[in-house]
Chains A and B, each alone.
Chain A
Amino acid sequence: MKPKLGVLAVFFGAAFCSFVLGGCGKSAAEVKPAVAFGTYDTEVDWNDNNRLIPLGYQESQGKRVFYQYCVWCHADATPAGPSNRSNVTPTPPLMNDGEKLNGESSEYLQNIITLGGSALGKSAMMPPYGKTLSADEITSVIAFTRAIAQPAYQKPGRPGSQYAGKP
């Protein structure tokens, strides 16, 4: 009876120590904050062939829509080779032109894609895509534009909020 109890006590004690110590080993501070599982897709930087820009899910959907509908006039190289950009006056901005596009709000871009250029007092050569693409698809194209922008796009913070100006 006695030896058995002793063994039991030692067992419990050891188990207790190991549990507590084990628990200490995984203290909150040591847990990795995020597990890196890569990016959904990538796009080659248009100004630098050696740089890959990581794309999230929404941006990669935008890439798909861009390369089907927009690339013909908003890029200098297209999947078919030559670009239609030079045939259009005024010349449409390149989709990665941050200097031109970073200043425009996402709402404005959403509107001009949905309603076309003439509805916003711009060139009628930009046709409306609101009846062809879904609102989500248009949002994703804008997300893609923001991702590839050179110079990089900075999200505007709310004026006066503690986040204003933060990247």
Chain B
Amino acid sequence: MPAEDMGKLSEKLRLTFAVSTVVCVLALAISPLKDFRAEWKHYKRWFVKYAQTRPDTKKLLADYAPNIDQVWLPGMNVTDRCTTCHQGITQSSLADASVPQPFRAHPPVPHNVRQWGCTICHRGQGPATEVAEAHETTLAWEQPILPAHFLQASCGRCHQSDFKEGPQLARGRELLTHLNCQGCHKLNNLDRPTLGPDLSSVGYKVTREWIYKWLKEPRTILDNDGNVAMNGYENEPEPRMPNFRLNEEELKALSGFLSVQKAKPIEKYKINPAVVTAWSKKPDLISQGEVRFRQMMCTTCHSLAVTRAGETKMIGGDIGPELTKVGSKVNEEWLVAWLRNPKSYLERNNMPRYGWSDEDLYKVSQYVMNKLTDSDLLANVPQLGTPTDQEINTGKRLFAEKGCASCHALNGIAPQKEFGPDLTALGSKNASELEFSKAKIDHNLVSYIQMKLQDPLSVNPAARMPQYHWEQADLEAVTTALLSQTGPAATSALQHLEVPRKESSFQAVGAFAEVYERYKCYACHRFNGYGGTLAPDLSFEGSRARQKWIAEFLKNPQTIRPTLILRMPQFNMSDKDASIAAEYLSIAVQNPSVDPQSVDARQFTPAMVSLGKELYEVKYQCQSCHTIGATGGYVGPNLNNAGNWLTPAWIEAWLRNPQTLQPDTIEPRRAFTEEEIRALTAYLLTLRAAIKPLTAAKATAPALAERGAGR
């Protein structure tokens, strides 16, 4: 290259260099400029301005630093930068709703933000520094924040046992258990499910037509407008049986197959013909049967639809099936055999074995068969006749294919393992992993779960999942419980935080075991954490009640709590059974902290009794909740017979601290002196009103009940 050309070239080169230098400098300036304009810095500056308008500026800005703030908890996999913008989160003076977000203080919770971070509970993207990336689903960040309404799902990740602070979560878990979702899906940390009835001998119980109707349309109770009057599962107005959307052929085949299931012949019982002849002509046979039905408190476990003033309501309990139309369902021969000895039909069931006289058995069975009926129930069902072999074979195949065996036991058909998808990690799924099909809903996990529960076909046209009908609150509760199924903890530190579910068991022994099983005490009562929750926990009954009182109560149960609608059934228990149960309960189920020898009733003087009466009536005014005689409140048990009912040691221990004996009791713990405790005990022991025998007047009691709870 000639020397003179070098200069020209270098000039061009110089110009290029100059331009590219400027471009490079500008390019390098992008990053600091972008950083200066970062979204989070805007919130930093805004907070300073906002703090300056408040009277406590100094306190609010004491820890202020203009950079990114983060909570870093490596053991728990937490890197949360939320406090960069949510700067007032620990400032108690910013709790008011008038404080603009994101500066409002967090409400007081047991978990401190510096020790737990934010995303453990709220989910979302902790490390993100932009509003959208932190809270919503973006291309790079998939976990959106959990709506506050479903927040209890996060509690459920660690709190696997009973969790009273999260009622919605607890209700959702109860429903997952009650509806036996575990029959088809794998789920974690739930109680043992309650299964549907065993169908091994169902052919003796119901007709093929009824099965057809039930499979086609499990819900049959309608109000005047033809709408389903009741919804939700609180009182079992809706059967647990969902709708499987079967076609005509499938309905015929399955009903045919089930109607020939007769594994074990029923124990036929012939009611004494003399009783039948005497009663069948009496005009009040049915009404007398109804009186007996009510006296025996069948509605404690079974519910009935009652229509008053055009409004249909379910009244009764949900331990046994709803009985409004049972007379149009079961065979009379089966009903009599079942009432006499439930075990002869089903080995495992919750129905107590009542002591029946032939007269009662005839009256009640006639009432059920003739009054609890609906002539229109099977109106639209074709006459099906005897099933063909082909129908039976198809039915058998369908029983396995549709997943019936997951809930119902049937001879020779084992439930399929992993029938539905594993849901143990459903709560941590990203929206991109879900199939939304053509459903017009927001593409996020919460909407997906709710849509899938409401209408399984909308998000998957080929879904096998049956159709349930939910009340809004129940739908949200189940969604919360499903969102809490987030799979195994991400880090070992989180595993250590898990509060495991308590496993409990109770084994009745000796002669009591037979009584316990015969009357199904566990269906309603709880013993050391095992059993139902409808009736009082009997884990410490031996310390509380006197043996003689227990025996008398079992033979003739009287309600101690006047407002209860669901009461102890009248079992017609024999003297022998009652004394076995009373002896066992008073010796074997005691609270070790209540020493029966600690109180000697002989020490009580009339002066102490009158002091106790004064304390009860004037100083502490216990009558606001307890009834003595005919006056007083009905929040607590009535104390008319307290002297015969309660042991002195129990009364004293209870007055000292009721919560140690029964943690969830609403009776407040008071600051009684020892002298006051003794005086109150002395007074209560003088209350001995005899139990009145049962009268027929009670027959109308359940009709008075407006709401079926009473727990």
Contact = CB atoms under 8 A, between A and B. Distances in A.
Nearest to B134: A35
A156 B329 CA distance: 64
B28 to A, nearest CB: 10
Given A23-B37, A124-B621, A9 B101 contact: no
Interface in A76-101: 79-82, 84, 87-88
A39 B150 CA distance: 9
A5 B621 contact: no
B42 A132 contact: no
B706 A81 contact: yes
A23 B30 CA distance: 10
Contacts of B131: 31-32, 35
A15 B108 contact: no
Contact of B30 (A16, A64, A82, A125): A16
Interface in A1-49: 2, 5, 8-9, 12-13, 15-16, 19-20, 23, 26-28, 31-35, 37-41
Contacts of A129: 668
Nearest to A27: B37
Contacts of B635: 72-73, 84
A127 interface: yes
B192 interface: no
A124 B107 contact: no
A40 B151 contact: yes
A136 B108 contact: yes
Contacts of A16: 26-27, 30
A154 to B, nearest CB: 11
Contacts of B151: 40, 57
A167 interface: yes
A79 B671 CA distance: 29
A153 B252 CA distance: 62
A32 B565 CA distance: 52
Contacts of A57: 107, 109, 148, 151
Interface string B604-637: 0000000000000011110011000000111100
A136 B131 CA distance: 32
A155 B96 contact: yes
Contacts of B136: 35
Interface stretch (B66-74, B162-170, B283-291): B162-170
Given A2-B16, A23-B33, A28-B42, A124 B670 contact: no
A79 B165 contact: no
Contact of A81 (B108, B109, B659, B709): B709
A33 B149 contact: no
B422 interface: no
Nearest to A22: B34
B566 to A, nearest CB: 10
A6 to B, nearest CB: 9
A136 B108 CA distance: 8
A132 B20 CA distance: 77
B19 interface: yes
Interface string B154-198: 000000000011011000000000000000000000000000000
Q: How large is the interface on A (under 10, 10 to 19, 20 to 34, 35 or more residues)?
A: 35 or more
Interface in A43-71: 56-58, 61, 64, 68-69
B106 to A, nearest CB: 9
B24 interface: yes
A131 B669 contact: yes
Given A12-B26, A79-B709, A125-B621, A38 B107 contact: no
B16 A64 contact: no
Contact of A64 (B33, B46, B165): B165
A128 B27 contact: no
A10 to B, nearest CB: 9
A41 B165 CA distance: 13
B30 A8 contact: no
Contacts of B30: 15-16, 19-20
A37 B147 contact: yes
Contacts of B706: 81
B23 interface: yes
A128 B668 contact: yes
Interface string A100-130: 0000000000000000001000011111110
Contact of A26 (B39, B46, B632, B669): B39
B474 to A, nearest CB: 15
Contacts of B620: 124, 127
B33 A20 contact: yes
Nearest to B168: A41
A94 B576 CA distance: 50
A118 B618 CA distance: 11
A163 to B, nearest CB: 8
Contacts of B55: 161-162
Interface in B23-60: 23-24, 26-27, 30, 33-34, 37, 39, 42, 46, 55
Nearest to B671: A131
B108 A58 contact: yes
B707 interface: yes
Contact of B624 (A41, A68, A88): A88
Nearest to A161: B55
A44 B659 CA distance: 31
B379 to A, nearest CB: 36
Contact of A9 (B20, B165, B634, B709): B20
A56 B107 contact: yes
Given A5-B16, A31-B131, A131-B670, A73 B148 contact: no
Contacts of B664: 68
A13 B147 CA distance: 42
Contacts of A61: 165
B20 A81 contact: no
Interface string B119-139: 000000000000100011000
A15 B27 contact: yes
B98 interface: yes
Contacts of A80: 563-565, 707, 709-711
B76 interface: no
Contacts of B621: 123-125
B149 A40 contact: yes
B149 A127 contact: no
B101 A132 contact: no
A5 B147 CA distance: 51
Top 6 A-B residue pairs of the complex, sorted by shortest distance between their CB atoms: A34-B101, A125-B624, A131-B669, A28-B42, A87-B633, A124-B621
Given A35-B131, A58-B107, A72-B625, 16 more contacts: A12-B24, A19-B34, A28-B39, A32-B131, A38-B147, A57-B151, A73-B633, A80-B565, A81-B707, A88-B633, A118-B619, A127-B624, A128-B670, A131-B669, A131-B671, A167-B98
11 contacts: A16-B27, A23-B34, A35-B135, A35-B145, A37-B148, A38-B148, A57-B148, A80-B711, A87-B633, A124-B619, A131-B668
Interface of B: 16, 19-20, 23-24, 26-27, 30, 33-34, 37, 39, 42, 46, 55, 96, 98, 100-102, 107-109, 131, 135-136, 145-149, 151, 164-165, 167-168, 563-565, 618-621, 624-625, 632-635, 659, 664, 666, 668-671, 705-707, 709-711
Interface of A: 2, 5, 8-9, 12-13, 15-16, 19-20, 23, 26-28, 31-35, 37-41, 56-58, 61, 64, 68-69, 72-73, 79-82, 84, 87-88, 118, 123-129, 131-132, 136, 155, 161-162, 166-167
